[in-house]
Each structure stands twice: as structure tokens, then as C-alpha cells.
Amino acid sequence: MDTSTLIIAYKVMSERSIRGTARILGKPASSIAAAIDRLETEISVSLIQKVGTSVVLTLEAERISPLIKLLADHIQDAISVGNRSAFDVSLSLKSLTRFARVAETGSIRRAAQNLGLGQPQLARQIAHMESALGCRLLNRNVDGSRTTEAGKRFAKSAGAIETVWNDLSHAAAGRFRRSAATIRLGSIIPLGHESFVATLLASLLARWTDDRPREPLFVASTTTDELIAGLKSGAFNAVLLNTVKVPTDFDAYLIAMSPLSLVGHSTIVGSQQCKDGLAKILERTPIAIPSARSGLRQIINRLLAEILTEAELEKLRIIEVDSMPVILNLVLGHGAVSILPSESVTSIRDDLSQIPLHPNHNLPLWLVCRKNESSRLIARAVLTVLEGLGYGEKHRQRRSASGRPD
């Protein structure tokens, strides 16, 4: 790590703009972005998210921003001993630490021995710093090396920089080790805390934590399209998908088949059970459904095509929203109907009725991974835990007989 990277990163975090920082410093925007990337990599923290022409700080960046500011202040103090701007000088933090050791020992030779370096190498590094700063840091004589007034100030700032940077980098080492060991599982978004998927994930995480405490499992929920994209990019090691078909470039393991129901207020749904009854409800009532990015929507589209004519489909009042809580709120409080996993809505409210759909419309839940050995090993480890909890192909018949998703 070097001083200019830290100064640039602090400026970006203060200005909330990469291009704005580039204009202020008279540098290309690409070099500013590269500085941010270097620091993010070094401390294993994502610092910014781009929003249009501006950036917003991540929560972790907000947390460590006082340390970044403290580093920038100490760097400014260190560079100010000479006649150069901190934005124009780039010194490695390692060289600053080495100078601090020279100042402590009063000898380049002894400092070099303590650091495991050759004396000429260390002497050249100090000469480079003096040239970059535009001032002398040491007075050399036969008795050793004494710091100049500028050198004393520089050594003090260098020691402060070392202390703050060690705090940041020590935490980064822990984050890196944890990140490297963490298995990242993507999942469809659960309908609610009592839903089938939420129950499955909670059970999986609890059992996994007991069985593999040194190998954390991180779960993130998003849409089907984003899960597939994350799997392809390596953001996820494996994902849980509720799609009808899994892309052929992935391996897939069937975890469950969830029955679906047409759900709505009892005054709207009534006791209609036949195909014509479903069609009548859909023709006269708004239907709240997820977008085509959802696996559930694939089954809904297939059902609608089976029970409605093309003319009837065009007349449907569709409310499209990729948020299950919003869909459920539309059903509970705004007179809409929806098609949802049966078990997820069974105990929500007494005046909520559901019409079970034919098993042909059951929603599959797949554990999906890439077609390589490392991904398969992770998927099999997750599958083993799920099977121990009663999910997967081995338990489908038993679960089906009990009336739960099989």
C-alpha cells in the first residue's frame, strides 16, 4: 500500500465522486478508480457503490471512514515536512515503516540488520524518500544517522501511519480468511418467516453452523435471473432456484416440489375448484404476480395459458411486483388474488382462502451449481445437510404422503 492510494481514496470518500475527485486532482478518472480498487483489495472491504455519476459509501466504508481520514491526516503531516503536495508524492507504507526503524535505532546499518535488508538497499530507499519529499530527513556521520527536524516530524507521522494501518490490515486479514472459507449460497426470496423456503434455510443454517463451525455458510436472497447471473460469475457457489427448468450448463438436484394455490379473500375466492371457476375469478379480480424473472411466474404463465383464451389473457388486470410481502399485502388488503405456495399462506389469516392447483403445477425447488468439481463438492455438502433434515429426493415420497411439499 502507498500514500497516494490512501489520499485518493479518502478524497473519493469525502467528495462522493470518482470523476469529481479526478477533476480536483487533475488525474484520469481511471487512475482514481484504480486506487479505490487497490485499497478495497488490500483491506477486503467494498468501499463504494456507483449511483449514476456519484458514489455512495457502503456501511462498512462508513464504519472505517474515521480510520481512513486519520491515515490521510497523518500522511498530509508526513508529506508536509517537504515542499511537495501529498497528492503528488507516492511513498510505500513499507518504506515509511523502515524509516521509522532507522530513526529509532539511529543507524541505517543496525536498522537494516533488524529488518533483514542490505544496508545499501535501505540507504537507497531513504534517499528516494528525501528526493520525493524535497528535503533531508537524516544527517549521516561516522557515528550513525541522526534525524533532522523534518526527519523527526516525518518519523513521528510514519509511526502513527503504521499504527493505524496495522489496525486496518489486521482486521482485513481476518475478513479475508473468513471470506475465503465462506460458502456463498444464493436463494429465492422467501414469502415470509413461516414460509417453506424460510424454514428450510433457517434449518440448513442452524445445522450447518453446528456441523461446520469453521466453514461459514452465507445466504443471500434475490431473483432467479440474478441468482443465475451470480452463479455464472462466481458470486455464489450454489443457489436454490424454483424454476421449471434449470439451464443445461448447470448441475441440479431436486430438493422439493411445493404445491401452489390461487389465494385471495374468502369473499372473492369462495369455494370455486374447477377450471372454469378459476377463470371467472381471474377475469373479474386483479392478480398480483412476480415478474418473468421469477421461477414462480413461469408456472403462473403456463396455468393462465391453460385456463384462459388469448382474448381473456389480454383483459387480465395484472399487478407485477418482485416483492412477495407487497404481493401478500395486495391480497390481504386490496382485493387482489395471487398464486402462491400453499404452505406459505396456510396460517396467515382466517379470511384468506385458497384453491389448490393440480400437482402438475407444483413448484420445483432445485439446488444448482456449476459443472466443475469444486462446485459439485460444495453442492453435495449442502445437499447432505438438507437430506439429513428431511429434504431432497430421498424424502419426497414421505413428504408427499404427509401433505407437505414433496
Residues 98 and 37 in one domain: yes
Does 149 share its domain with 88? yes
Does 201 have pLDDT greater than 80? yes
- Whether residue 98 lies inside any domain: the answer is yes
CATH number for the domain spanning 8: value is: 1.10.10.10
Residue 8 confidence (pLDDT)? 93
Whether the pLDDT of residue 271 is over 80: the answer is no
Confirm whether 165 is domain-assigned. yes
**How many domains are contained in the chain?**
3
Of 358, 402, 334, give the one whose Cα is nearest residue 261: 358
Model confidence over 147-194: pLDDT tens digits? 899 999 999 999 999 999 988 877 665 555 555 567 899 998 887 787
Is residue 336 in a domain? Answer: yes
- CATH number of the domain enclosing 293: 3.40.190.10
Q: Note whether residue 398 is domain-resident.
A: no
| pLDDT band for position 76 (cuts 50, 70, 90) | very high
Out of 56-60, 192-196, 241-245, 334-338, give the one with best mean pLDDT.
334-338
Say if residue 241 is in the same domain as residue 290.
no
pLDDT the model gives residue 286: 94
Residue 136 in domain: yes
The predicted structure's pLDDT at residue 400: 42
Residues 163 and 281 in one domain: no
Do 7 and 110 belong to one domain? yes
Nearest CA among 372, 337, 390, 357 for reference residue 200: 390
Instruction: Kindly state whether residue 22 falls inside one of the protein's structural domains.
Output: yes
Q: Which residues form the domain of 304?
A: 260-361
Shared-domain flag, residues 35 and 100: yes
Report the relative pairing of strands 352-356 and 238-241 from DSSP bridges: unpaired
Q: Determine the pLDDT at residue 398.
A: 42
Please tell me whether residues 271 and 201 are part of one structural domain.
no
Asked if residue 202 and residue 176 are part of one domain, the reply reads no
Residues 43 and 147 in one domain: yes
**Structural domain includes residue 45:** yes
Cα–Cα distance between 344 and 291 in angstroms, integer?
19
Q: What pLDDT is attached to residue 403?
A: 45
Q: Do 9 and 21 form a contact (C-beta atoms < 8 A)?
A: no
Domain end call among 113, 148, 180: 180
Average pLDDT over residues 29-38: 91
Query: Model pTM greater than 0.75?
Result: no
Question: Is 399 domain-assigned?
Answer: no
Average predicted confidence (pLDDT) for the chain: 85
Domain match, 196 and 129 both:
no
| Residue at a domain's end among 337, 361, 385 | 361
Q: Is the dihedral of CA 365, 230, 345, 333 positive or negative?
A: negative
Confidence of residue 272 (pLDDT cuts 50, 70, 90): low
381 and 270 belong to one structural domain? no
Place 233 in a pLDDT band, splitting at 50, 70 and 90.
confident
Tens-place pLDDT, residues 370-398: 998 888 988 999 999 999 998 877 655 44
Q: Among residues of the chain, what percentage have pLDDT more than 70?
A: 91
Residue that is last in its domain, among 180, 201, 234: 180
d(CA 305, CA 297): 12
What residues contact residue 80 under an 8 Å CB cut-off, 6+ apart? 86
Question: Does the structure show a pLDDT above 80 at 53?
Answer: no
| Residue of higher predicted confidence among 145 and 228 | 228
Q: Are residues 66 and 131 in the same domain?
A: yes
- The contacts found for 61-69 with CB under 8 angstroms, 24 or more apart, are 61/13, 64/168, 65/13, 67/164, 67/167, 67/168, 68/6, 68/9, 68/10, 68/13, 69/10
Orientation angle between helical segments 275-284 and 295-307, nearest 10 degrees = 110
Cα 393 from Cα 367, distance rounded (Å):
11
CA distance 246 to 364: 10
Q: What's the rounded Cα separation, in Å, for the pair 358 and 107?
A: 85
CA 248 to chain centre: 26
